[in-house]
């Protein structure tokens, strides 16, 4: 997989030429036409979610709200949970910050070597020794395929886990941290894995990207694109119509399943984050209890925020493929 100059040029234009983008502005918010009064929808969704998690063998955290509204669903929303691959959102933002400051280059090719291969099914691990890749390709693999080899490389390019954590602290994110390969966070790594967060903060990161106040207008626009093309559409995304734009990230380790989405719904955007921990069901089939819960809670949110347009027919999500 050779580096593509055109991809590097496009990435450089996105971040280096704000004039081409018409200046810094938040993503447009569609005109609101709520069919159900906002407070009523939130109260109903809170009750739905509380019922949905009854009997779940594990701990569940949920955060959901409509953008521009004060009502929220918050269940263990400020409790610490493992990020699993949700950590790739702050890694992305830390890397974009360095790219914007020109501390990392979009255009200088990077050479892949076999010691960068992380065990698993990563696409980057199939690249031949000595092949060139570029930053844009690594970001694509990290966010779209959740490629761990590419993600660890992105974390390195972002300066280190310590540098990303410092950026998070500076920006006011108190709970979200990178633990893996981060000096001084060995105990946290043992407890939470690659990273840790809360449902509220992880949802807040996506809201900050949409509102163009995470890194900068242009960097956030790039992040918006990067998070809008995931390969993993079987869980929460299967409960949202495919015609609706969503930015999202998914995470999974043995005892945890998680997903965060910002949905550009017709009646106005909403954000939802669901994270589990201490799950009894540690299987990896689609029928895993955590996966089923992600699909169900997202379907409930869609039904409450978009009444009259129920999707999918089953709260367990479509069965195909």
Tens of pLDDT, residue by residue, the chain (321 residues): 444 444 444 444 444 444 334 456 666 554 455 444 568 999 999 999 999 999 999 999 999 999 999 999 999 999 999 999 999 999 999 999 999 999 999 999 999 999 898 887 789 999 999 999 999 999 999 999 999 999 999 999 999 999 999 999 999 999 999 999 999 999 999 999 999 999 999 999 999 999 999 999 999 999 999 999 999 999 999 999 999 999 999 999 999 999 999 999 999 999 999 999 999 999 999 999 999 999 999 999 999 999 877 666 565 655 555
Which pLDDT score, from 0 to 100, does residue 26 have?
61
Residue 62 sits at φ, ψ, to 5 deg, of: -140, 140
Supply 290's token pair: 């955590």
Asked if 204 contacts 89 with a C-beta cutoff of 8 angstroms, the reply is no
Which pLDDT score, from 0 to 100, does residue 307 have?
84
Which pLDDT score, from 0 to 100, does residue 10 have?
44
In the chain, helix, strand, coil percent, each to 5? 40, 15, 45
Which pLDDT score, from 0 to 100, does residue 122 have?
86
0.85 cut: is pTM over it? yes
Buried b (16+ CB within 10 A) or exposed e, 209-234: bbebebbbbbbbbbbbebbeebebeb
Residue 145 sits at φ, ψ, to 5 deg, of: -100, -5
Q: Domains of the chain, with CATH numbers?
A: 32-104+158-305 (3.40.710.10)
Please state, in angstroms and rounded to a whole number, the distance separating the CA atoms of residues 212 and 218.
8
Asked if 247 contacts 227 with a C-beta cutoff of 8 angstroms, the reply is yes
Report the SS3 class of residue 178.
strand
Please state, in angstroms and rounded to a whole number, the distance separating the CA atoms of residues 197 and 293.
19
Asked if 64 contacts 301 with a C-beta cutoff of 8 angstroms, the reply is yes
């Amino acid at each position: 997989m050779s580096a593509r100059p055109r991809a590097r040029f496009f990435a450089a234009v996105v971040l280096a030429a704000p004039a081409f983008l018409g200046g810094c502005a938040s993503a447009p918010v569609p005109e609101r036409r709520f069919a159900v009064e906002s407070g009523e929808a939130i109260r109903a969704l809170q009750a739905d979610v509380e019922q949905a998690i009854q009997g779940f063998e594990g701990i569940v955290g949920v955060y959901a709200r409509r953008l521009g509204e004060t009502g929220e669903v918050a269940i263990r929303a400020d409790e610490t949970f493992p990020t699993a691959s949700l950590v790739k959102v702050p890694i992305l933002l830390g890397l974009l910050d360095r790219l914007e400051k020109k501390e990392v280059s979009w255009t200088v090719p990077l050479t892949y070597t076999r010691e960068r291969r992380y065990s698993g099914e990563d696409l980057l691990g199939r690249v031949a020794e000595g092949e060139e890749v570029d930053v844009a390709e690594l970001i694509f693999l990290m966010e779209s395929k959740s490629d761990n080899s590419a993600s660890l490389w992105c974390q390195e390019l972002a300066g280190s886990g310590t540098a990303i954590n410092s950026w998070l602290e500076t920006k006011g994110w108190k709970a979200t941290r990178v633990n893996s390969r981060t000096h001084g966070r060995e105990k946290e790594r043992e407890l939470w894995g690659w990273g840790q967060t809360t449902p509220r903060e992880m949802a807040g990161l996506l809201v900050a990207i949409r509102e163009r106040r995470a890194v900068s207008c242009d960097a956030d626009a790039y992040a918006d694109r990067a998070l809008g093309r995931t390969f993993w559409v079987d869980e929460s995304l299967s409960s949202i119509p495919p015609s609706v734009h969503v930015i999202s990230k998914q995470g999974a380790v043995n005892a945890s399943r998680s997903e965060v989405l910002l949905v550009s719904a017709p009646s106005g955007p909403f954000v939802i984050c669901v994270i589990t921990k201490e799950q009894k069901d540690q299987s990896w089939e689609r029928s895993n209890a955590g996966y089923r819960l992600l699909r169900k809670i997202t379907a409930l949110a869609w039904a409450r925020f978009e009444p009259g347009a129920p999707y999918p027919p089953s709260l367990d999500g479509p069965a195909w493929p």
